[in-house]
Amino acid sequence: MTTAFQLLSEHASFGGTQRFYQHDSREIGLAMRFSVYLPPAACGPNAGQVPALIYLAGLTCNEETFMVKAGAQRLAAELGLALIAPDTSPRGAKVEGEDASWDFGVGAGFYLDATEAPWSAHWRMESYLMHELLPSIGEQLPIDTRRLGLFGHSMGGHGALTLALRHPGRFRSLSALAPICAPTQCPWGEKAFNGYLGSDRSTWLAHDATALMQSQTAAPFPAGILLDQGLADSFLAEQLHPHLFEAACNAVGQPLTLRRHAGYDHGYYFIQTFVGDHLAHHAAALKASA
């Protein structure tokens, strides 16, 4: 049963509208928030359904961060793309350590379904996104859920890569900015996965983008995946490992454009600089599939 969205606020933006919503989530068992930018083509008396690009944010972020900081609405309006940004994590479960700013440990959503107590009761971000939020958006908003692209940053980049590979055919296009590419091989991922999934490391591989790509028998995104990575990113060497994902793509014949940028760090100035290329990448794929 779909829960009705509650509109919290609405703001005119580049001929379209920026909205922030809340709803009671059956998968999470708590109230969840998300944001939507609807371009002009989805607004007004002649509005129609538009393709959408889902953005998954990183640690310390929420449903507002991308919409406020990335500066993506102008180009989304021009391209006729809706932008959707869910919150990163459950809020208010009163579980010790749930604060998503807590040193990349458990508490941050990581876009998976936890199997270990106490996290398994509410930390069901994969089921929330795939089985609740996206279908509900198609029912309640002028979004064509047959034409969805997926991208994200950092922890959200991990989420974008893994969800796209775990749900073949659900997304028409894929990209990421400074993603955690091999969480089973970095301290952030090891800490979170041990808390959420338990100590059996074999279960972790189902949520590791590099391992998932290695298991492919054909290119899941023949038109290509786009990744951007700043070379001044302080997390690059120890945590992100894009070279491992690159090698996995090469091994299975998945076209990948991995762009490495001197001088750019891990923050939203980096995202602002390259987000336009990501919107264009997705728009080309989503319009081609119309």
Q: Decide if 245 contacts 260 (C-beta within 8 A).
A: no
Element containing residue 56 per DSSP (H, E) = strand 50-56
Residue 233 bears catalytic tag: yes
Name residues whose C-beta falls within 8 Å of residue 194's C-beta, 6 or more positions apart in sequence: none
Name residues whose C-beta falls within 8 Å of residue 185's C-beta, 6 or more positions apart in sequence: 208, 210, 241, 244
Strand-pair partners of 11:
18
Among candidate residues 23, 153, 241, 266, the one labeled active-site is 266
C-alpha distances in Å from residue 118, one per residue of 97, 114, 198: 11, 9, 12
85-106: b or e for each residue (b if 16 or more CB lie within 10 Å)? bbbbbbbebebeebebeeebbb
| Whole-angstrom distance, CA of residue 231 vs CA of residue 17 | 35
Residue 154 bears catalytic tag: yes
Strand-pair partners of 148:
52
113-137: b or e for each residue (b if 16 or more CB lie within 10 Å)? bbeeebbeebbbbbebbbebbbebb
Q: Decide if 180 contacts 240 (C-beta within 8 A).
A: yes
Residue 289 bears catalytic tag: no
Among candidate residues 154, 207, 241, 281, the one labeled active-site is 154
Sign of the alpha-carbon dihedral angle for 64, 68, 69, 73: positive
Among candidate residues 87, 233, 281, 282, the one labeled active-site is 233
Strand-pair partners of 111:
none
| Whole-angstrom distance, CA of residue 114 vs CA of residue 97 | 15
The residues that are catalytic are 154, 233, 266
